[in-house]
Chains A and B, each alone.
Chain A
Amino acid sequence: MSEAVSKSIMIFLEGYPTTFLATIAFFIMIKLLMKSASRRNGE
């Protein structure tokens, strides 16, 4: 297997899950923001 192919597979195996992990962080962040907003509205 050429170096480019092995590197590209490494980028896939590491990069795609990392993109998802980052997304989870964004998701939690928005959820917290919106929760605090609805709590403020409820007060």
Chain B
Amino acid sequence: MNLLSNFLVPAGNLIMFAIGGVLIFLAIKKQYEPMLLLPIGFGAILTNIPGSSAIGEHGVLTILYEAGIANELFPALIFIGIGAMIDFGPLLQKPVMFFYGAAAQLGIFLTIIVAALLGFDIKEAISIGIIGTADGPTSIYVASRLAIHMLGPISVAAYSYMALVPVVQPPIIKLLTTKEERRIRMDNRTEKVPKYVRILFPILVTLLAGIIAPVSVALIGMLMFGNLIRESGVLNKLSNAAQNELSNIITLFLGIAIGSTMTASAFLNQSTLLILLMGLVAFILDTMGGILFAKTFNLFRKQKINPMIGAAGISAFPMSARVVHRMGLEEDPNNFLIMYATGANVAGQIGSVLAGSIVLALFL
């Protein structure tokens, strides 16, 4: 075998090395979702080395891909960790925030239409629209079921825009709200949530969501299982393991296995650019949906709710809640929106999984 010929790396592969490098740069230098973008970037480099032993029948990345992505195992397991990390207390105290979490899923549905209008088939359009869940595991879960060939760009778009929430959301919030609206103060009185309510909540949500859309059980069920472990109070070791070891290990495998799908032939095409653009459109429409719902809702309420909170209804947790809270403080240093924004944000976590499942249920 002439090893000298290995120096002739095709141009497409070289471009993929550069893209992998950019993802690693963004992860390290800009700290954009480093836990995912760094493994994805390195996975892309490993995959595009001509003749790479990391992919193929006995390749470690292909084995990981078959073991956890092709069968949708990794996204479901990640949800156990996410569920164990989330405190649903703010939502239980302000259940009206559930509506905000639903409203901000508008981007999913509208982006599916836009993607279909751009010529994607319905499976691809759904997978692209699901980027609007602002929820990486759900995006991966749906894409791996419907459009596995788009998994790379969809994952990159989903995680990149989640990291860019502090850049994407503020201009839209400012555009759609008046200064007066942004200064609406919220009543921050809290009420204690009893332990039995915290324990019943994940069980009842699973049952309700499962009855409405049985296809949601894999994701909502795992999310709520993680939360039940957390709230039970008797499984602290398991809760910590789910939040840390399980979550970290699966994230590591998930990222590098996604990177293995980013071959030059699959990634370097016009669709990838459109997917990245549509992902941004989905996030913008989600934010608009949440704010416009909040403004409409206020028309019927005596006690107005700060409409910026609507923007926190997307599932990008906890970035979106922090953005809204910070913007509230900028307008009025005594306006603390964090509890409502967190309530909307965790509602968005449930809403996004539910919306993704409903879309799947309508299609399958």
For window 2-33 of A, CB contacts with B under 8 Å fall at 2-5, 7-12, 14-16, 18-23, 25-27, 29-31, 33
Docked-complex contact B212 and A22, CB < 8 angstroms: yes
The stretch from B111-119, B156-164, B169-177, B249-257 touching chain A is: B111-119
Task: Decide yes or no: A11 and B95 within 8 Å by CB, A19-B355, A33-B200 being known contacts.
Answer: no
Chain A residues contacting B91 (CB-CB under 8 Å) are 30
Q: Is the CB of B362 within 8 A of A29?
A: no
Question: Is A18 within 8 A of B358, CB to CB?
Answer: yes
**A8, A33, A40, A41: which has the most chain B beta carbons within 10 Å?**
A8
Taking CB as reference atom, which chain A residue is nearest B105? Answer: A19
Cβ–Cβ contact A8 & B112, under 8 A: yes
Whether the Cβ atoms of A19 and B116 lie closer than 8 Å is no
- Inter-chain contacts of A37 with B (CB < 8 A): 193-194, 196-197
Give the dominant DSSP class at B's interface: helix
The A interface, classified by DSSP as helix, strand, loop or mixed, is helix
A19/B197 in contact, CB under 8 A: no
A3–B101 Cα distance when bound, in Å, is: 30
Interface size class on chain A is 20 to 34
List, in ascending order, chain A residues with CB within 8 A of B105's CB: 16, 19
B122 touches A3 (CB 8 A): yes
Residues A26 and B350 in contact in the complex (CB < 8 Å), given A4-B121, A12-B109, A33-B201? yes
Tell me whether B122 and A23 are in contact (CB under 8 A).
Answer: no
Closest chain B CB from A2 CB (angstroms): 7
A5 to B114, CA, bound (A): 8
Nearest CB of chain B from residue A7's CB, rounded to whole Å: 5
CB <8 Å contact, B101 and A27? no
- Known contacts A3-B122, A7-B122, A26-B208, A16 near B109 by CB under 8 Å: yes
Residues of A within 8 A of B (CB): 2-5, 7-12, 14-16, 18-23, 25-27, 29-31, 33-34, 37-38, 40-41
